[in-house]
Amino acid sequence: MPFSIPRRRLLAGALAALPLALALPGCSSQAEPLPFEGNDITGSHLGRDLDMTDTTGQRRTLADFQGKVLLVFFGYTQCPDVCPTAMAQAAQAMQLLGDQAGDVRVIMVSVDPARDTPEVLGAYVQAFDPSFIGLTGTPEQLEKTARSFKAFYAKEAGPTPEHYAMNHSSAFYLLDREGEARALLGPSLTPEDMAHDIKLLL
């Protein structure tokens, strides 16, 4: 049974805002300002060092997703509340996109590679939508990728060594077709808001 930490939601919400500090007004960018419902992080270049392994065992970097709009989330399969809620919202947003959903990739990066094997992670993300992609890997791969996104994660001890929780950022990172980070979509946004922001990049 997943171990629930009472202050998870508070920590995740506060720490998800950390990447906003990188969206400096003085950063030069060719991307035009867009009316995002989420927080505009254009010019932050977050996520450029994404380097994980998908559920088929294939190494994945940002270059593999060129031409697609990306919605990237950091979570784990034994998360009791935040992760399933976020993934369900992403699935609803994909339904709202209709035929345009084919140009979008929703990616969940596991912050718990010890328990999230490719088989476990694949079954989890595809239960929400068959097109969803799960990425896992070594602790070193995760550290490099999370640092690139400025995403927070930390293990919190449970009643036994096997029963622990992971505190983690709770926002989606929205990247455009060129792999540039454009918006941070927090947990307060609705699937309609998410679909709106995705459509701005399609």
pLDDT in tens, the chain (202 residues): 343 444 444 344 444 444 444 444 444 445 568 999 999 999 999 999 999 999 999 999 999 999 999 999 999 999 999 999 999 999 999 999 999 999 999 999 999 999 999 999 999 999 999 999 999 999 999 999 999 999 999 988 878 877 898 899 999 999 999 999 999 999 999 999 999 999 999 9
pTM: 0.83
The pLDDT of residue 31 is: 54
What is the rounded CA–CA span in Å between residue 78 and residue 56?
A: 20
What is the rounded CA–CA span in Å between residue 81 and residue 141?
A: 25
What is the rounded CA–CA span in Å between residue 140 and residue 112?
A: 12
What value does the CA radius of gyration of the chain take, rounded to a whole number of Å?
Answer: 16
The dihedrals phi and psi of 67, each to the nearest 5 degrees, come to 95, -10
> 23: closest CA among 177, 150, 199?
150
The pLDDT of residue 64 is: 96
The pLDDT of residue 112 is: 95
Cβ contact 190:34 at 8 Å: no
Sort strands 133-136 and 104-110 into parallel, antiparallel or unpaired.
parallel
Cβ contact 87:71 at 8 Å: no
Q: What CATH code is assigned to 8-22+36-199?
A: 3.40.30.10
> 185: closest CA among 7, 40, 18, 69?
40
The pLDDT of residue 18 is: 47
The pLDDT of residue 77 is: 96
Domain boundaries defined on the chain: 8-22+36-199
What is the rounded CA–CA span in Å between residue 21 and residue 43?
A: 11
